[in-house]
Homo-oligomer: A and B are copies of this chain.
Amino acid sequence: MAPFEQLTEDDLAQAWPLLSPEDRVAGFRMLRPEEAADFFLTRSTYSQVTILQGLSPNERQLWLRLLPPDDATDVIQEAPAELRSELLLCLDVKTRNEVTGLLAYAEDDAGGLMSPRFARLRPEMSVDEAITYLRRQVREKPETMNYAYVLDREQHLLGVASLRELLASNGTKRVEEIMQRDVLVATERTDQEEVARLIAQHDLAAIPVVDEEMHMKGIITVDDILDVFNEEATEDIQKLGGMEALDVPYMQTPVLPLVKKRVGWLMVLFVGGSLTATAMSRFEDAIAQAVILTVFVPLIIASGGNSGSQATTLVIRAMALGEVKLPDWWQVVRREFKSGVLLGLGLGAVGFLRVAVWEWLFDSYGPHYLRLAFTVSISLLGVVIWGTLAGSMLPFLLRRLGFDPASASAPFVATIVDVFGVVMYFTVAQLLLAGSLL
């Protein structure tokens, strides 16, 4: 790119993650007006806030008014507290009232995602009237038009007609004849993950949100749900990695808050892990007699941790997708026990070979190498079975206790398995090696 060439939307989007807040605003101001609007609308809420913070109050008003009310609500929720009331005042009165209403909902509830702007019809209209009426509404309402909601005079939801069905129907039919009465709805308090599942499973473009008396409150559209999917998957993945979920994209989180999100779990795991030191101290005599035993400790506990990590990952993801529910725990135990036995036999066999081959090649383990090989492979079998069981059951236990099952991270499971692995290995050793190495 030659210097002073016109900056394009794509250039800026490419460089965005690497720019400081000041450079972002400067770059944004260099865009041509029509590109700037598109650029602003396709940014994440977080980036929109960054841009707005850097602009003058007049510019802020211009850009904030571009957003539909549900997105404006997200921006105001994300903005620093001191900026919020000023941003609210930037909106026109009608939108401000809608946004103030939406701000009352928690961000993760259906109410926090919904837009109050949707297409309405009356049941007694003819299809032709409905289409004409929609053509008028669409000029005023920026939100989706895939479905028109049929409401009575008290705003009760009677049914829904997709634009496709309206267009495909004979123009003289009445709306109530063609509308679908059996409507899938969310309430204001439905969790956003549940809404996402409903929309995905039934391939909807939007879902209506109602209160307990079926009064229509707004709609949630599929494009808001795409963001929910990504957010929820990111949260789960970060928790699985053994940390708190970040609220802000990785590259935009400064180092100190990043460390804060990580240090908590690291400390918890460290304290849990220090039990391995306590456990090993109890076997100090055995270690002193047979130092060779200790060299396999990291390998054995890592194998338990790895198989536990696999099991917990599988179960947590299946739970998030709704494939596995609490009552299925016994079936999961049976599956994981069988898997654990097979995996443990496999690793046990390889462990046996490892000891035998090293003895044959390097003469490493002395005359009792066969007993040592059995100790290693039996411990591997036990620790892998325990790892898969602990890893698969921990998410159930956490959910049962009301915690997020995704907190059963791979490191968490590994720590639990480590302590058990140490005790198991030295106990097997004392049984098998008594009178020889010990």
Contact = CB atoms under 8 A, between A and B. Distances in A.
Most buried by B among A131, A139, A318: A318
A302 B339 contact: no
Contact of A242 (B135, B205, B267, B410): B410
A303 B266 contact: yes
A134 to B, nearest CB: 6
Interface in A290-323: 291-292, 294-299, 301-303, 305-307, 309-310, 312-318, 321, 323
A183 interface: no
A298 B298 contact: yes
Contacts of A265: 306, 310
B323 A249 contact: yes
Given A168-B139, A240-B241, A323-B17, A226 B223 contact: no
Contacts of A246: 314
A432 interface: no
B295 A298 contact: no
A134 B284 CA distance: 82
Contact of A280 (B281, B298, B339): B298
Main secondary structure of the interface of A (DSSP, over half): helix
Interface stretch (A53-61, A79-87, A251-259): A251-259
Interface string A5-44: 0000000000001100000000000000000000001100
Interface stretch (A101-109, A212-220, A343-351): A343-351
Interface in A327-375: 328, 331, 335, 338-339, 342-343, 346-347, 350-351, 354, 364
Interface string A149-176: 0000000000000011001100000000
A294 B280 contact: yes
Given A18-B331, A299-B273, A263 B343 contact: yes
A277 interface: yes
A433 interface: no
B284 A295 contact: yes
Nearest to A252: B323
B297 A262 contact: no
Contact of A243 (B42, B273, B310): B310
Interface stretch (A89-97, A110-118, A228-236, A396-404): A228-236
A350 to B, nearest CB: 6
A287 B291 contact: yes
A233 B240 contact: no
Given A17-B328, A422-B298, A270 B240 contact: no
Contacts of A323: 17, 249-251
A324 interface: yes
A316 B237 CA distance: 9
A238 interface: yes
22 contacts: A17-B328, A203-B223, A204-B223, A205-B205, A205-B222, A222-B222, A236-B237, A237-B237, A237-B313, A251-B323, A251-B331, A255-B339, A265-B310, A266-B343, A270-B303, A273-B303, A276-B299, A277-B295, A280-B294, A284-B292, A287-B287, A287-B294
Interface of A: 17-18, 41-42, 131, 134-135, 138-139, 145-146, 163-164, 167-168, 199-205, 222-223, 225-227, 229-230, 233-234, 236-238, 240-243, 246, 249-251, 255-256, 258-259, 262-263, 265-267, 269-271, 273-274, 276-277, 280-281, 284, 287-288, 291-292, 294-299, 301-303, 305-307, 309-310, 312-318, 321, 323-325, 328, 331, 335, 338-339, 342-343, 346-347, 350-351, 354, 364, 384, 409-411, 414-415, 418, 422
Given A236-B237, A302-B411, A309-B410, 13 more contacts: A138-B168, A145-B163, A203-B223, A205-B222, A205-B223, A230-B233, A233-B236, A250-B323, A259-B342, A259-B343, A263-B346, A277-B295, A298-B301
